[in-house]
Chain A
Amino acid sequence: MSNVSRRSTLKLAAGLAAAATLPQSVWAQAARTRLRMTWWGGTDRAKRTQAALDAYQKLNAATQIDVETIGWSDYWTRLATQVAGGNAPDVIQMDYRYIYEYARRKALRPLDEFMPSLINIADFGQANIDTGKVDGQVFGVSMGVNSNGLFYDRTALERLKIAPPDHTTTWAQFAEKAVAITTAAGKRGFFGSSDAASNEPALEVWVRQRGRQLYDNDGKIAFTRDDIAEWFDYWDKLRRAGGAVAGDLQALYRNTPETDMLTTGRSAISFQHSNQLVAWQAVNQGKLAMTMFPQGGAGSKPGQYYKPSMLLSMSATTPQPQEAARIINFISTHPQAGAALGVERGVPPSKGMRDRLLGEVDELGKAQIEYISLIATRVGPLPAPPPKGAGEIQENLRRVYETISVGNAKVPQAADQFMADAKRTLERA
């Protein structure tokens, strides 16, 4: 092994000489600008995003974009680890829940210096630009507008001859309808609605309709013990009446389309976000449709609001800020990116993109765009971003409600428990 023959040495030298005469373009290829982009989501999103990035790379041959994608719950672990290790991806899909935390810890780079020269999102409208601001600076570009969406299996409801809920249905009417579906179907393990008691967005709509919020601007709980008690009581009664999925079945839901009660054939209705209709339809056999979460009735405030489904941010440590800015701009405004991404991340905030899409999208896309315009007069203002620890409070909510739904706890005690747990969680966060 140790004696290198003269012949092989010669071969090596010849090879090097040949390499030196290679055309310039090959070297350019090797010296391409490389960036990394990361996002959470399923396979459908991965395919669409990859297609958009391919289009970018076709137009900018000198750039190579490496992608990293993973599910929601592991995404934040991974991103935090990467940021801590100093190797964060250049372009990062951000969530409204986390953008304050990351921006304030200086993990993200403000985008104002690139606007409008490289990132031109003027046609988003001020409201949609502001959703990406933290302390007056833009740290994220909205990728889509969404809101809560009540998904229902249209096929199943037609078969049962029950009119679907609509944007005027109140909580009381919703409960009656859910029970009616269960009764009409008369099938073991099948219920009218999923049990949304541990669904934080649904709780948020409920408290907002009562003129309150989940959290105030200081990050404190901004609803009362009685709000949560009545909330638990509503679902406890509905579940006992057979209108909502039994506790030990609902406990199997893992915040994924595949484990949702609608997908697993346990319920005809599920509480989700409007942009997720695409992902949910992809794994459901029945035709899905969407409407607003139930209403608070006379005298109530709007519960829902427009929210950025996701944002695009730039890592504070990227060595290629200009190129990262160009990629963000391309994804947010370029027609080719729009065609590839569709409305899978929500309705595009860019008016130009939205108008172009209306002609191109399928039935689901159209339903989503129409839904977002339908609720325009029925939404309230965007609340303050949730405080640190809000993610854990979601878990508290699930755990405490499970003590009612699969345990023997009574509603009043559970409500006390929840308030105590939430307070402690916020103190520790």
Chain B
Amino acid sequence: MTTVALPQTRSEPAPRRRRLNAQDGAAYLFLAPWLLGFFLLTLGPTIASLYLSFTNFDLLQAPSWTGFDNYWHMFVEDKRFRNALSVTFWYVLLAVPFELLFALAVAMVLDKGLRGLTFYRALFYIPSLLGGSVAIAVLWRQIFGYDGLVNEGLSVFGVDGPSWISNPQYSLYTLVLLRVWQFGSPMVIFLAGLRQIPQELYEAASIDGAGPVAKFFRITLPLLAPVIFFNLVLQTINSFKAFTPAFIVSGGSGGPIDSTLFYTLYLYQEAFAYFRMGYASALAWVLLSIIAIFTAASFFSSKYWVYYGDEGR
């Protein structure tokens, strides 16, 4: 579910079908461990969960078929499901654009040829490596807690700040901030993309009298579109699947008052706190569908705004 193929730059003629030869056999042999893992540990359980989503499986007793009961409950009766969806959509809607904007901005600064570029690149990348970790979520709790760093800072100006992470008005935004702070991985990809843009174009534009703003909108942005698209799809999927930050920051409750109840956290609660494995499986399949729809929509829309250099207009 995580891997997204980089958009193909050109559609090549399909290779003619040929019979398996000895080399293919060797390839499959070497792939076998991975294939085994894929079929047994990924595909098998995924299909099993589709079956379980139509049952009332609770771990202790054998599952019994309940038809569409789980889906009916989800879409018709379950208020927490609706709330979890809305929390997750808000999170994705806020976190992804801000994260990408921030990543792009930093990438452009670094692209200007800063001294010690590799050092800064590594430095900015670190949050991405750490961001999803438990330790950072714990740190976030401290920073945005009642006696945390943020309130210490505010108290200098005489502001008595609330406990940001446990106040339903602000708690989701602290999680968005945590996401934006992990701008490193899209930044590195943006940086690589910026390096690919031919310098001649900028030089030519300068000669024609284009300013930096024009250059950005006329050259950088269009040529970077495939990379933006790639980052957008990847970060959207990752944001839909975000779990650790909410789990740790809210102590697994999604609270206060379900204000940080991410979809995945709700799914986890139903499965592992209340043992409704059948319902949780149904939730998982709905999440999979939502992510698939969003990804498909992105790919569809990309026709209209992503320009690949070798398409020739």
Which residues of A are in contact with B by a Cβ distance under 8 Å? 73, 77, 80-81, 83-84, 101-102, 105, 107, 188-189, 247-249, 251-252, 254, 259, 389, 391-392, 395, 398-399, 402-403, 406-407, 428-429
Contact = CB atoms under 8 A, between A and B. Distances in A.
B253 A392 contact: no
Given A83-B59, A83-B60, A406-B168, A251 B273 contact: no
Nearest to B251: A254
Contact of A80 (B59, B145, B163, B251): B59
Contacts of B146: 189, 248-249, 252
Contact of A251 (B73, B256, B274, B275): B256
Interface of B: 59-61, 73, 145-147, 160, 162-163, 165-168, 251-253, 255-258, 272-275
Contacts of A392: 273-274
A107 B272 CA distance: 18
Chain B, interface SS category: loop
A252 B275 CA distance: 25
10 contacts: A77-B273, A84-B59, A84-B60, A107-B60, A189-B147, A389-B274, A391-B273, A399-B255, A407-B257, A428-B73
A406 B60 contact: no
Given A395-B253, A406-B256, 20 more contacts: A102-B60, A105-B60, A107-B60, A248-B146, A248-B167, A249-B166, A251-B255, A252-B145, A252-B146, A252-B251, A254-B251, A254-B252, A392-B273, A392-B274, A398-B255, A402-B256, A402-B257, A406-B167, A406-B168, A407-B168
Q: Which interface residue of A81, A105, A247, A259 has the most chain B CB atoms within 10 A?
A: A247
Nearest to A106: B60
Contact of B163 (A101, A105, A252): A252
A259 B59 contact: no
Contact of B257 (A80, A389, A403): A403
A141 to B, nearest CB: 22
B249 to A, nearest CB: 10
A334 B165 CA distance: 48
A-B pairs, 9 with minimum CB distance: A251-B166, A254-B251, A248-B163, A84-B59, A251-B256, A77-B272, A80-B59, A248-B167, A248-B166
B253 A398 contact: yes
Contacts of B160: 188
Nearest to A424: B77
A84 B160 CA distance: 50
A247 B251 CA distance: 16
Instruction: Identify which of B162, B166, B255 gathers the most chain A CB atoms within 10 Å of its CB.
Output: B166
B255 A259 contact: no
B244 to A, nearest CB: 15
B232 to A, nearest CB: 34
B67 to A, nearest CB: 16
B11 to A, nearest CB: 46
Contacts of A429: 274
Contacts of B274: 389, 391-392, 429
B251 A259 contact: yes
Contacts of A399: 255, 257-258
Nearest to A85: B59
Contacts of B258: 399
A80 B256 contact: no
Given A73-B252, A77-B272, A403-B257, A249 B163 contact: yes
B247 to A, nearest CB: 11
Nearest to B271: A77
B166 A80 contact: no
Given A252-B145, A254-B251, A406 B59 contact: no
A102 B59 CA distance: 12
A80 B277 CA distance: 11
Contacts of B167: 248, 406
A248 B141 CA distance: 13
